[in-house]
């Protein structure tokens, strides 16, 4: 490329500087993103880790006090709210992602063929994904309202007893899963649809020649061929679902009681309601490690399936 | 080939969507504002507006932000409509005594999205003209305000000069952390402005360790809102004792008709403040005089039981997920005969745009229990000065003006209960309120207790601890066990909280 030797253009001026630039051109090109990553990611994570070994409430008069590992031992051994919230985080994410995967796969298969108004339907299905989670939370909060909400009005019309939804410890978490599924199934469907459209035609032709039933074609061709896409979609969605905060905060703030408190909302409570910045940091560090572990696991899984594809 | 082009189309669609999401970014931000207030502890009219607008139309997700904003405007207009016309003409000079000493100074004020902010904005141009100062006002929904302040103040930034804060929720913490300026000398030195005109309870709320850390701007008391028509039909009078309250709630509950005796907050932390009047009137309190938990008393237990029983037996479904916006929505829709909450929220039930029972609402003082009628009477908001502000004298000039008698008079006439005795004692000061309401607010103020939550440093954690038995009680669980557990936890908490002070 022409840029490879800028020194040629001004051989007399600033030769040493240009030479230096020339020699470090790779470094200079990546420098902006390097600075960005350092400032916006590495530093906050490092600071969080450091803070997790301290206790501090943000005081201007008292700087953070080192407390060693006690934030971690507190959480892991003495705080039932922590373990409950971990369990709920995984229940929520698992429930949501499985439902989204199944529904998303169904929708993708339906949308795969050609039909009238296909693009219109596709756009329509994608709408929930475009909306802001907090706005969605507000809208669903109204629909879930047991006395004056839409859902119970519908239930009453078809003769089913009204449900307390978010007002019940048993139903609240699953009501939230419902909202998450409503919002994020479209993304699952979109990724899977993209995966379906690039599948090779030849195996299907061969299968048809051999007289394979649609069922067989689905289980022995589509599913295995689509597996890499499914794994990627599940990975992306799982990490996202684990981090869910907005809809929970908007709709239940972790209640009733503690029935929908996840690691994220608990971290928020620890930092912004209890002012225990060190404790909150240690919680986030543990959560970070968990998400990292899950991601690594998925990458392993993907490698395996990737070979097959 | 066919599939290839399909993929291309899909990719385009995704790009378009990305653009759309990005375009929605701004809406997103303003919508985010709406959210936390949904479960907020006390305060703004705006979310109820959103709740209602949504309830009527089930507004499409992204538009909620705008709806809320529009709703807020309507609320302010409706709340003021009856009274501001009268007020505007005759409040006289709201900028009397404002000096030009700080002409050219710029101040940054951070406020909550609260009717106070709407009110002060109306008179702010006059202040700017009289003082020559330039005032920038930023406002946030109250939970966000708290975070915004914490982050700004933690980082030691002097961004804001003056801010609104909730003295009972975060006052002690902010003062302990060195974020609030000590205003004692300034307040006590301004003789014409008259610090002693502020109600005793209000002054005590913002005074920690004999130092004044803020100037009260909004006060509130817990009262009973009731449906006059339903009470009349049933041959009932407004409840004056907690027994009568229970009786009335029982009589007026008819789930088949979709009508419930009463509605109150049931979310753990938001419910604590409204539970407090039940606790005081039953003869209980949060802490003993030597700083130990007072939750272990039979009085406290009976208050917890009563609060939960009322909601469990005579409340609508789903109270466990209710803070005031959800509760008031039920009352506005005519589904509950009583709503017990802060009196400062009364404009929500009077606005015909949001409330189908606007013309049928009566007000009653909090009913008497064993210890008499003891509602809270608190300062919900105060103005504080950032200790890191570089414009302290100019900032005080602004605070002094914003809390001066003429300004408080004007704000109170627009329906916003303030903290000045002279305004409360003058007939002009009560003009903005419905007559019955003014009487109830006055008598509640006399009987009232100056705090509605445990008086500690780390209020957030304390509220979760003392609020847990409320939740258990509403669910019909083992209240005695829950109270015992809360008592132990609260004691352990108080030990640590005391250490936090030093």
Neighbour count for residue A103 (Cβ, 10 Å)? 17
Does the distance separating the beta carbons of B54 and A139 come in below 8 Å? yes
Q: Is the predicted pLDDT of residue A104 greater than 50, yes or no?
A: yes
**B468 in contact with A, Cβ within 8 Å:** yes
Neighbour count for residue A97 (Cβ, 10 Å)? 26
pLDDT of residue A179: 93
Q: Is the predicted pLDDT of residue B383 greater than 60, yes or no?
A: yes
Does the distance separating the beta carbons of B458 and A135 come in below 8 Å? no
Q: At what angle do helices A172-197 and A118-130 cross, to 10 degrees?
A: 140
Pairwise pLDDT comparison (A255 vs A219), residue with the higher score: A219
Report how far residue A146's alpha carbon sits from residue A179's, in angstroms, rounded to the nearest whole number: 16
Antiparallel, parallel or unpaired: β A54-55 and A65-66: antiparallel
Does the distance separating the beta carbons of B471 and A257 come in below 8 Å? yes
pLDDT of residue B46: 36
Domain boundaries, chain B: 87-219+377-447, 221-376+455-501
Hey, what are B391's tokens? 């414009």
Is residue B133 a contact partner of residue B107, using CB atoms and an 8 Å limit?
yes
Write out residues 187-246 of B within 8 Å (CB-CB) of A. none
pLDDT of residue A49: 92
A92 min Cα distance to partner chain B (Å): 19
Residues A22-42: what's their mean pLDDT? Answer: 88
Residues B170-188: what's their mean pLDDT? Answer: 88
Does the distance separating the beta carbons of A252 and B35 come in below 8 Å? no
Hey, what are A276's tokens? 């225990």
Topology of B87-219+377-447 in CATH?
A: D-Maltodextrin-Binding Protein; domain 2 (3.40.190)
Residue B463 neighbours by CB under 8 Å, 6+ apart = B268, B269, B272, B453, B454
Which secondary structure element, helix H or strand E, spans residue B404, and what is its range?
A: none
Name the nearest CA neighbour of B315 among A147, A181, A275: A147
Pairwise pLDDT comparison (B42 vs B450), residue with the higher score: B450
Three-state SS for B157-211 is: CCCCCEEEECHHHHHHHHHHCCCECCCHHHHHHCCCCCHHHECHHHHHHCEECCE
Residue pointed to by tokens 């209640």: A255
pLDDT in tens, B58-72: 333 333 333 344 444
Name the nearest CA neighbour of B145 among B74, B270, B40: B40
**A135 in contact with B, Cβ within 8 Å:** yes
- Contacts A167 to B, Cβ<8 Å: 266, 317-322
Of B10, B52, B61, B357, which to mutate for an interface test with A (greatest number of A Cβ within 10 Å)? B61
pLDDT of residue B157: 66
Antiparallel, parallel or unpaired: β B215-227 and B361-365: antiparallel
Residue pointed to by tokens 């950032």: B386
pLDDT of residue A67: 84
A68-72, B4-8, B270-274 — which one is most confidently predicted on average? Answer: B270-274
pLDDT of residue B44: 36
Report how far residue A16's alpha carbon sits from residue A24's, in angstroms, rounded to the nearest whole number: 12
> May I ask the CATH architecture of the domain A80-308?
Orthogonal Bundle (1.10)
Report how far residue B332's alpha carbon sits from residue B45's, in angstroms, rounded to the nearest whole number: 13
pLDDT of residue A306: 58
| Angle at B362 (CA atoms; ends B359, B367), nearest 5 degrees | 165
The torsion angles phi and psi of B106, rounded to 5 degrees, stand at: -115, 130
Neighbour count for residue A44 (Cβ, 10 Å)? 10
Report how far residue B472's alpha carbon sits from residue B320's, in angstroms, rounded to the nearest whole number: 10
Antiparallel, parallel or unpaired: β B162-165 and B106-112: parallel
pLDDT tier for residue A11 given thresholds of 50, 70 and 90: low
Report how far residue B454's alpha carbon sits from residue B168's, in angstroms, rounded to the nearest whole number: 8
Report how far residue B214's alpha carbon sits from residue B222's, in angstroms, rounded to the nearest whole number: 23
Residues A211-226: what's their mean pLDDT? Answer: 88
Hey, what are A3's tokens? 């840029």
Three-state DSSP class for B217?
strand
Dihedral sign from CA coordinates of B265, B266, B268, B272: positive
pLDDT in tens, B120-130: 998 999 999 88
Residues A103-131: what's their mean pLDDT? Answer: 85
Name the nearest CA neighbour of A274 among A128, A100, A81: A81
pLDDT of residue A12: 56
Residues B162-171: what's their mean pLDDT? Answer: 91
Does the distance separating the beta carbons of B36 and A257 come in below 8 Å? no
Name the nearest CA neighbour of B457 among B173, B213, B178: B173
Residue pointed to by tokens 């009932």: B236
Residue A226 buriedness (CB in 10 A; 0-12 / 13-18 / 19+): buried
Is residue B378 a contact partner of residue B171, using CB atoms and an 8 Å limit?
no
pLDDT of residue B11: 44
pLDDT in tens, B71-101: 444 444 444 443 433 344 344 577 777 888 8
Buried b (16+ CB within 10 A) or exposed e, B181-213: bebeebbeebeebebebbbebbbebbbbeeebb
Q: Is the predicted pLDDT of residue A280 greater than 50, yes or no?
A: yes
Residues B154-177: what's their mean pLDDT? Answer: 84
Q: At what angle do helices B324-332 and B46-57 cross, to 10 degrees?
A: 50
pLDDT in tens, B224-250: 999 999 999 999 999 999 999 999 999
Report the residue from A59, A123, A190 with minimal CB separation from B178.
Answer: A59
Q: What is the number of CB-based contacts under 8 A between chain A and chain B?
A: 188
Report the residue from B21, B317, B460 with minimal CB separation from A164.
Answer: B317
List the beta bridge partners of residue A54: A66
pLDDT of residue A102: 95
Distances (CA, A) of B284 to A243, B19, B202, B277: 42, 58, 22, 9
pLDDT tier for residue A8 given thresholds of 50, 70 and 90: low
Compare all CA atoms of chain B with the CA of A152 and give the residue at the minimum distance: B317
Is residue B469 a contact partner of residue B268, using CB atoms and an 8 Å limit?
no
Report the residue from B38, B330, B475 with minimal CB separation from A138.
Answer: B38
pLDDT tier for residue B165 given thresholds of 50, 70 and 90: very high
**B147 in contact with A, Cβ within 8 Å:** yes
pLDDT of residue A4: 52
Q: Is the predicted pLDDT of residue B269 greater than 60, yes or no?
A: yes
Name the nearest CA neighbour of B31 among B135, B127, B144: B144
Report how far residue A61's alpha carbon sits from residue B202's, in angstroms, rounded to the nearest whole number: 27
Write out residues 58-77 of B within 8 Å (CB-CB) of A. 58-65
Report the residue from B64, B330, B471 with minimal CB separation from A256.
Answer: B471
Report the residue from B20, B35, B320 with minimal CB separation from A249.
Answer: B35
Topology of B221-376+455-501 in CATH?
A: D-Maltodextrin-Binding Protein; domain 2 (3.40.190)
pLDDT in tens, B193-212: 899 999 888 888 899 888 99
A65-79, B23-37, B333-347 — which one is most confidently predicted on average? Answer: B333-347
Report how far residue B187's alpha carbon sits from residue B182's, in angstroms, rounded to the nearest whole number: 10
Pairwise pLDDT comparison (A39 vs B46), residue with the higher score: A39
Antiparallel, parallel or unpaired: β B336-342 and B361-365: unpaired
Residue B209 neighbours by CB under 8 Å, 6+ apart = none
Centroid of chain to Cα B228: 25
Q: Is the predicted pLDDT of residue B258 greater than 60, yes or no?
A: yes
Three-state DSSP class for A224?
helix
Domain boundaries, chain A: 2-51, 80-308
Does the distance separating the beta carbons of B318 and A164 come in below 8 Å? yes
Kindly provide the ipTM of the predicted complex, given to two decimals. 0.77
Report the residue from A57, A146, A168 with minimal CB separation from B316.
Answer: A146
What percentage of residues in chain B have a pLDDT greater than 70? 80
pLDDT tier for residue B222 given thresholds of 50, 70 and 90: very high
Report how far residue A198's alpha carbon sits from residue A196's, in angstroms, rounded to the nearest whole number: 6
Name the nearest CA neighbour of B348 among B376, B378, B323, B312: B323
pLDDT in tens, B464-502: 999 999 999 999 999 999 999 999 999 999 988 875 543
**B333 in contact with A, Cβ within 8 Å:** yes
């Amino acid at each position: 490329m022409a840029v490879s030797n800028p020194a040629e253009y001004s051989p007399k001026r600033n030769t040493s500087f240009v030479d230096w630039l020339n020699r470090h051109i790779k470094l200079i090109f990546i420098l902006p993103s390097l600075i960005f990553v350092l400032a916006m990611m590495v530093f906050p994570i490092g600071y969080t880790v450091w803070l997790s070994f301290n206790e501090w409430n943000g005081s201007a008069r008292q700087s953070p006090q080192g407390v060693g590992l006690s934030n971690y031992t507190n959480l892991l051994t003495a705080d039932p709210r922590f373990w409950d919230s971990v369990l709920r985080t995984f229940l929520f994410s698992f429930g949501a992602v499985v439902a989204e995967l199944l529904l998303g796969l169904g929708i993708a298969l339906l949308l795969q063929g050609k039909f009238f108004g296909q693009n219109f339907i596709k756009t329509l299905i994608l709408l929930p994904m475009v909306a802001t989670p907090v706005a969605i939370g507000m809208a669903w909060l109204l629909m879930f309202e047991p006395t004056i909400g839409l859902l119970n009005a519908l239930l009453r019309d078809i003769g089913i007893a009204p449900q307390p939804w978010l007002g019940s410890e048993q139903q609240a978490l699953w009501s939230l899963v419902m909202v998450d599924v409503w919002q994020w199934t479209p993304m699952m469907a979109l990724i899977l649809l993209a995966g379906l459209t690039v599948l090779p035609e030849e195996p299907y032709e061969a299968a048809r020649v051999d007289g394979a039933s649609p069922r067989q074609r689905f289980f022995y061709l589509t599913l295995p061929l689509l597996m890499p896409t499914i794994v990627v979609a599940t990975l992306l969605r799982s990490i996202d679902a684990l981090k869910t905060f907005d809809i929970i905060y908007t709709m239940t703030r972790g209640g009733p009681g503690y029935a929908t408190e996840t690691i994220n909302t608990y971290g928020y409570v620890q930092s912004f309601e209890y002012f225990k910045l060190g404790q909150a940091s240690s919680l986030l560090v543990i959560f970070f490690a968990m998400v990292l572990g899950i991601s690594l696991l998925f990458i392993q899984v993907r490698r395996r399936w990737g070979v097959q594809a | 080939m066919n599939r290839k082009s399909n993929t291309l189309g899909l990719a385009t669609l995704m790009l378009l969507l990305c653009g759309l999401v990005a375009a929605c970014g701004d809406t997103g931000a303003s919508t985010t504002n709406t959210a936390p207030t949904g479960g907020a502890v006390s305060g703004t009219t705006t979310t109820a507006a959103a709740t209602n607008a949504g309830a009527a139309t089930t507004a499409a997700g992204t538009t909620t932000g705008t709806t809320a904003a529009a709703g807020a405007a309507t609320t302010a207009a409706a709340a003021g409509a009856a009274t501001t016309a009268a007020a505007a003409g005759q409040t006289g000079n709201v900028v009397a005594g404002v000096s030009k000493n700080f002409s050219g100074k710029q101040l940054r004020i951070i406020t909550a999205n609260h009717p106070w902010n709407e009110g002060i904005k109306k008179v702010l141009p006059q202040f700017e003209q009289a003082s020559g100062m330039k005032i920038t006002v930023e406002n946030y929904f109250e939970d966000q305000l708290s975070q915004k302040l914490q982050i700004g103040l933690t980082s030691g930034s002097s961004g804001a000069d003056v801010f609104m804060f909730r003295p009972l929720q975060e006052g002690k913490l902010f003062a302990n952390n060195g974020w609030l300026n000590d205003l004692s000398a300034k307040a006590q030195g301004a003789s014409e402005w008259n610090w002693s005109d502020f109600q005793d309870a209000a002054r005590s709320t913002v005074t920690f360790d004999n130092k004044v850390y803020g100037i009260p701007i909004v006060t509130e008391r817990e009262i009973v809102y009731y449906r006059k028509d339903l009470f009349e039909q049933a041959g009932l009078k407004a409840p004056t004792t907690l027994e009568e309250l229970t009786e009335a709630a029982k009589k007026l509950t008819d789930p088949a008709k979709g009508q419930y005796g009463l509605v109150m907050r049931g979310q753990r932390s938001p419910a604590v403040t409204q539970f407090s009047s039940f606790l005081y009137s039953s003869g209980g309190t949060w802490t003993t005089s030597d700083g130990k938990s007072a939750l272990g008393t039979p009085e406290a237990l009976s208050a917890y039981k009563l609060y939960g029983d009322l909601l469990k037996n005579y409340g609508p479904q789903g109270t466990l997920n209710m803070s005031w916006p959800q509760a008031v929505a039920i009352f506005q829709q005519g589904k509950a005969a009583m709503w017990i909450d802060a009196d400062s929220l009364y404009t929500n039930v009077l606005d015909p745009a949001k409330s189908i029972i606007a013309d049928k609402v009566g007000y009653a003082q909090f009913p008497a229990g064993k210890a008499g009628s003891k509602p809270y009477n608190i300062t919900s908001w105060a103005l504080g000065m950032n200790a890191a502000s570089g414009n302290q004298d100019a900032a005080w000039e602004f605070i002094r003006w914003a809390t001066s008698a003429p300004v408080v008079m004007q704000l109170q006439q627009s329906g916003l209960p303030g903290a000045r005795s002279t305004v409360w004692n003058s007939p002009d000061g009560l003009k903005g309120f419905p007559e019955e309401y003014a009487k109830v607010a006055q008598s509640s103020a006399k009987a009232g207790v100056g705090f509605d939550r445990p008086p500690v440093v780390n209020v957030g954690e304390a509220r979760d601890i003392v609020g847990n038995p409320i939740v258990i009680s509403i669910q019909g669980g083992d209240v005695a066990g829950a109270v015992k557990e809360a008592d132990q936890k609260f004691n352990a908490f108080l030990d640590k909280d005391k250490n936090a002070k030093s």
